A = this chain, B = another copy of it.
């Protein structure tokens, strides 16, 4: 008979997480490789993207930190790099002089313009098409997959449902930071 560890090591939940992880990692790798054509990392691209679709092409550093998976200092560093490359500018906030805006430059938008189509094509090829092309009803498959993701996301990232009632409960997760040794 097998030991206690061996039993758990074949658990179907572990398999499910493994599939999730492998899929995500591989997909991210394709996207990363594609973005490399423009010499931008996924984080840099995401920052640019979020700025690009925000009013006035701008967002406060703190807002960027909340929307990306970066810490506040992480955002400072990414924006530093983007500023050096002329893709982003820093701008002071008139109403609160503690805040700083990151603003996408024309070059920044141009880069988005150039990079987004290829990015979408990768998503199309490796995510949308594979999900659509299944036996009985492909469209339903894509829809249910998307719905499942959305449900999980809403549960895992309650803040993501912004615009909704900011009523009860803590606005932020208790910071799942790893304890350092």
Binding site for B on A (CB under 8 A): 4-6, 8-11, 13-14, 16-17, 19-27, 29-33, 35-36, 39, 41, 49, 52-53, 69, 109, 112-113, 116-117, 119-120, 123-124, 126-128, 130-131, 134, 141, 144-146, 148-153, 155-157, 160, 173, 176-179, 181
Contacts and interface: CB of A to CB of B under 8 A. Distances in A.
Report the copy number of this chain in the oligomer: 2
Given A19-B153, A116-B8, A13 B181 contact: no
A63 B90 CA distance: 46
Q: Is the interface of A mostly helix, strand, loop or mixed?
A: helix
Nearest to A8: B116
Nearest to A68: B25
Contact of A131 (B19, B26, B148): B148
